[in-house]
Amino acid sequence: MKQEFLLPDLGEGLTEAEIVQWLVAEGDTVTLNQTLAEVETAKAIVELPSPHAGLITTLHAAAGDVVLVGAPLVGFEIEGQEALEPEAPAAVAEVEEGSGPNLVGYGAAPSSGRPQRRARRARAGSVAATTAVVADVDVRVAAPHDDIAVVPAPPVRGERPRSTPPVRAYAKGLGVDLVLVAAELGDRVITRADVDAYRERLVQRGAGVATETIPAPASAAGARRPAGERATTRIPVRGVRKHTAEAMVRSAFTAPHVTTFHTVDVTATSELIASLRASAKPDAPRIGVLTVVAKAVCLALAAFPGLNARWDGDAGEIVQQHFVDLGIAAATDRGLIVPIIRDAERMPLGELAAAVAELTRTARGGKTPPADLAGGTFSLTNIGVFGIDAGTPILPPGQTGILALGAVRRLPWEYKGEIALRDIMTLSLSFDHRIVDGAEGAQFLKAVADVLQEPGRAMLLG
């Protein structure tokens, strides 16, 4: 019988998702929980498991399409099953064992063995409007003087190329087809460097992807520069990038931001970190300056709860939160995300270090669940890893404070009445001036700095 699978709510009330790539095709027979597609929400790339075992009759969307939650996604023909009305997203389904899910959109209970992915057949037109790369369609790109360069069509797709989700998203943003990259590289994992190298080869051949040229202005002698020197690339604003842009605009024009700075001698913190690492077991989580600052922030928030509050305009109230869900900004190939460490104030330093390490690993792999990207109460962003000393970070929506960590630099500094080389770092605190006034913001920042200047006792509490 026929059964429609509707796009489920993938978490936190998200209303839509973009099809990154299909891993199956019409006419394929799939097993229960076999991955059907990778979809990108405003927060994460998610693998979508099959809620049924059966024959795929219809794929209602193409790669690059944006599908609303609750819209038909896949049509199934299920042998021996009575026809069912389309399920609402996230509805519980009572069906025969081995042919249906426990929760629509999230697959069924785990089954034994890992289903093998079948070869995919290309689907004409399954490409975003800003690129022209599909398996059975010529690649057309802008060339000088508005001529069109036509590249012969590549072979039909088989198994998807081996790469990580961030690399696939990066390639998609550049308009590079990983099937073509894999055809040149052979059977190995494709890296970001491989994508860059392949795109450079296309440009050198005059076949850049999603590229247009702008006529160069004439010089005094009437000569023009080569068109390639003024090429532009159009990158679709989708997924994480779109969500981040909307959130930052909303925050910047809703909460009146104030940023204050404090430069602090963190030599004692550097010495503590070195001491803890020297005595740590080989498998112990690595403690770094971000972990120490996170602990210092949790201690300071207990004394200054205004920085851990939120503004409830509808109720006309300031809501102080007596727990710390700490956001850690992470730069990924898909854009900036801010995963959350829940109840960070309860964690001793080692546990906090492990949480930071796991958060970073998951974010870099593109596997952060949407639920872990919502509901933070205060955030940190470590701009020091890029060699930057200070900045004016924008508040994540709904939060009152965000602290930027600058680079730790060895500089001449006044110490005990003399000039000495010390480890120096600048802290940049942005806060919502509706909730926190300048004095409280300065006192909070000073409290964090005091812990970093003398961390020995405070860091090992909790």
Kindly report the length of the chain. Answer: 462
On whether the CB atoms of residues 63 and 19 are closer than 8 A, the answer is: yes
Q: What whole-number distance in Å separates Cα of residue 205 and Cα of residue 203?
A: 5
Q: What whole-number distance in Å separates Cα of residue 244 and Cα of residue 184?
A: 35
Q: How many CB atoms lie within 10 A of CB 155?
A: 11
Cα of first residue to Cα of last residue in the chain, in angstroms, is 59
Catalytic residue status for 433: yes
Q: Which of 298, 312, 297 is nearest to 343 (CA)?
A: 298
Q: Which of 306, 333, 334 is nearest to 400 (CA)?
A: 306
Q: Which of 364, 334, 367, 365 is nearest to 239 (CA)?
A: 334
Q: How far is CA 47 from CA 41, 67, 92, 417, in A?
A: 11, 15, 20, 60
User: Which residues, other chains included, contact 379 with Cβ-Cβ below 8 Å and sequence gap of 6+?
Assistant: 326, 327, 328, 329, 338, 393, 395, 396, 399, 401, 402, 403
Q: What whole-number distance in Å separates Cα of residue 39 and Cα of residue 60?
A: 14
Locate the DSSP E strands across 321-433. 326-328, 330-332, 335-337, 340-341, 378-382, 401-405, 409-415, 418-432
Q: What whole-number distance in Å separates Cα of residue 295 and Cα of residue 345?
A: 7
Angle at 230 between CA 225 and CA 233, to 5 degrees: 160
Angle at 94 between CA 88 and CA 96, to 5 degrees: 125
The DSSP H or E segment spanning 21 is strand 16-22
Q: Which of 109, 110, 107, 112 is nearest to 35 (CA)?
A: 107
On whether the CB atoms of residues 454 and 274 are closer than 8 A, the answer is: no
Q: How many CB atoms lie within 10 A of CB 151?
A: 17
Give me the active site residues, please. 433
